[in-house]
Amino acid sequence: MRTYLECMPCFIKQSLEAARMATDDEEVQTKVLKEVMGHLQDISLTSSPPELSRDVHEIIRRITKTKDPYKKVKDQSNEMAQKEYPRLKKLVGESDDSLLMAIKLSIVGNVIDFGAMNRFNVDDMIDNAVKREFDASAYPQFKSVLEQSETILFLADNTGEIFFDKLLLKELVKRQKQITYVVKTNPIINDATVEDANLAGIDKLATIIDGDSGQKQSAPGMVLSYASKEFLEIFKSSDMVISKGQGNYEGLSDVTRDVFFMLVVKCPLVAQDISSEVGKLILKVK
Amino acid sequence: MRTYLECMPCFIKQSLEAARMATDDEEVQTKVLKEVMGHLQDISLTSSPPELSRDVHEIIRRITKTKDPYKKVKDQSNEMAQKEYPRLKKLVGESDDSLLMAIKLSIVGNVIDFGAMNRFNVDDMIDNAVKREFDASAYPQFKSVLEQSETILFLADNTGEIFFDKLLLKELVKRQKQITYVVKTNPIINDATVEDANLAGIDKLATIIDGDSGQKQSAPGMVLSYASKEFLEIFKSSDMVISKGQGNYEGLSDVTRDVFFMLVVKCPLVAQDISSEVGKLILKVK
């Protein structure tokens, strides 16, 4: 997916949020915003949003001298989601169609800004999200491709969310699938890294790799030109690819191979690109 | 009121909206955004938002080669509000306290983005807004100052809204007040100019002046350093000053003389500054 002009104010808004997580010094925050605006003057809109976002967040980290501005938010997200895990497991266990429920919960995990919410609100949000209507028209195709697949490449998105993915990974393991779970090699926004995936115990269910291994900065979504050779080989050879979140969608929406995208639409431009609406839970093959 | 870092993404978002009103050419729109971002790298946050907004919109007009990107929106707003006028007049006429109802409607006029709505929606919005609770704690002081005043300076805000102001101006004229109604000398966003005020028939109720007469560009709110000598004299000598909208509030919130501000809070930073919440109808002396 290309970048749109609407992404410019959004990049700047996110830069301010990130700068404020890193420092209370308004002079430094101002410097971040000014340098980001300077950078955005030189970009091409043909790049995908995660490509540009990678550079924007490199500026934020450099100016604020902070390796991982989202560290606290990410830890809170993991902690909160870990507490929810037994409830999620019960929901899957009690469901008539455990695979479908695990898919839905994995998508629901993409909606919640865990770091910013208390336990009570997260409980409510999960209950509401589970009740929410969900276009499952791609589910028969998902099941059919899954049945014929031995190897599955699973691209992760955020911390916290990875605990929701775990339920789906368990369903896949139950069906004797070999899974490669892809995270980022460096901290970028609230995306999961190897450390997070290990914390969630995903190493017991899948082979965890950092898809952009060797890169000095990670993008908040898979960009094939930044991908490791290892990733590109698995991406090509895997029987099935599952991709979580907007960032991975933005990076992979135009690739030639079939990908099952699972995400919550958070941005009107993604909504337009994927022919849906902001707030919708999406399972779509493209 | 000073400018906050949150204003940066907001300026850029508004620049995109304005550029799109002026042209469909994405290259020109991109050029606008890049030039605006370049300009925002050099600004000082001690300037008020209307001061910075003046420069931002000068860039938009220059790059798009459009004298008044909001012309269509403004004409639609005036047309829509003119159609509502008989209904508004009836609401004031039937009210137990016609002055209070005229004040409330004048504030309500600040809430509606007339250009973007159809007649049916505007009818509904007015009905809802009139029913909405409204902190009238400053009303006794408003009445008391009004009783002791002969001359009133009234700073207008938007097109469309000026028809709502007309009801309040009539209430003031009924009480034998001499009113100076202040508009902008040049087109800026959707703000009213002399032409608009004349169209609304305000010339029959008040002396219309452009408060920034002589300036090549107008700011979307009164900035005293851009004001004409005539305005500054009337601002000083008037018995009472009424100021409409956020832009005028941002420009005048720190002046030493008493001003009755009437506005709808549309921005969280203004909300914080005025100790209120987004969406509230405000009558406040400061």
Residue B38 maps to a domain = yes
Query: So what's the pLDDT on residue A120?
Result: 74
Domain end marker among A47, A64, A81 = A64
**CA–CA dist B41, B29 (Å, integer):** 19
The verdict on residue A207 lying in a domain is yes
Q: CB–CB of B268/B278 below 8 Å?
A: yes
Same domain as A192, residue A124: yes
Whether residue B118 is predicted with pLDDT greater than 80 in this model: the reply is no
Q: Are residues A152 and A34 in the same domain?
A: no
Helices (runs of H) and strands (runs of E) counted in chain B: 12, 6
Whether residues B35 and B127 fall in one domain: no
Chain A residues close to B5, C-beta within 8 Å: 16, 26, 29-30, 33
Q: Are B8 and B40 in contact (CB under 8 A)?
A: yes
Whether residues B104 and B54 fall in one domain: no
**pLDDT tens-digit profile of A230-282?**
999 999 999 999 999 999 999 999 999 999 999 999 999 999 999 999 989 99
Run of H or E residues at A26: helix A26-40
* Count of CB atoms situated within 10 Å of the CB of B266: 14
- Smallest CA–CA distance, residue A271 to chain B, in Å, is 19
Q: Could you tell me the pTM of the whole model?
A: 0.91
**How far apart (Å, rounded) are the C-alpha atoms in residues B194 and B185?**
7
CATH number at residue B248: 3.40.50.10880
ipTM score:
0.89
- Residue B243 and residue B101 share a domain: yes
Asked which of A64, A83, A102 is the last residue of a domain, the reply is A64
List the single range of A116-120, B37-41, B130-134, B186-190 with lowest mean pLDDT.
Answer: A116-120
> Looking at residue A26, which CATH number applies to its domain?
1.10.8
Q: Are residues B43 and B118 in the same domain?
A: no
Is the pLDDT at B182 greater than 80, yes or no? Answer: yes
Range of the domain at B116: 71-285
List the Cα angle B144/B146/B152 in 5-degree steps: 155
pLDDT of residue B129: 78
pLDDT digits (tens, 9 = 90+) for B232-280: 999 999 999 999 999 999 999 999 999 999 999 999 999 999 999 998 9
Q: Nearest Cα to A188, choosing from A58, A65, A87?
A: A58
B45 plus B75 within the same structural domain: no
Residue B27: CB atoms within 10 A of its CB come to 9
Spatial separation of the C-alpha atoms in residues B246 and B157, rounded to whole Å: 8
Q: What is the mean pLDDT of residues A29-44?
A: 96
Domain contains A25: yes
**Contact between A71 and A115 (Cβ < 8 Å):** no
Q: Is residue A2 part of a domain?
A: no
**A1 part of a folded domain:** no
pLDDT value at position A24?
98
Are B174 and B207 in a shared domain?
A: yes
Q: Which residues of B touch A (CB under 8 A)?
A: 5-6, 8-10, 12-13, 16, 26, 29-30, 33-34, 37-38, 40-41, 45
How does residue A114 score in pLDDT terms, banded at 50, 70 and 90?
A: low
Same domain for A188 and A237, yes or no, is yes
Q: Are residues A91 and A46 in the same domain?
A: no
Q: Please report whether residue B193 resides in a domain.
A: yes
In A, what residues contact B, Cβ < 8 A?
5-6, 8-10, 12-13, 16, 26, 29-30, 33-34, 37-38, 40-41, 45
Residue B183 has a pLDDT of 98
Query: Total domain count for chain B?
Result: 2
Does residue B2 lie in a domain region? no
Q: Do A95 and A78 reside in the same domain of the chain?
A: yes
| Residue B51 belongs to some domain of the structure | yes
Average pLDDT over residues B8-37: 97
**Domain finish residue from B22, B37, B64:** B64
Contact yes or no for A9 and B29 at CB 8 A? no
Mean pLDDT for the stretch of residues B156-180: 97
Cβ-based neighbour number of residue A168 at 10 Å? 26
Query: Do B56 and B76 sit in the same domain of this protein?
Result: no
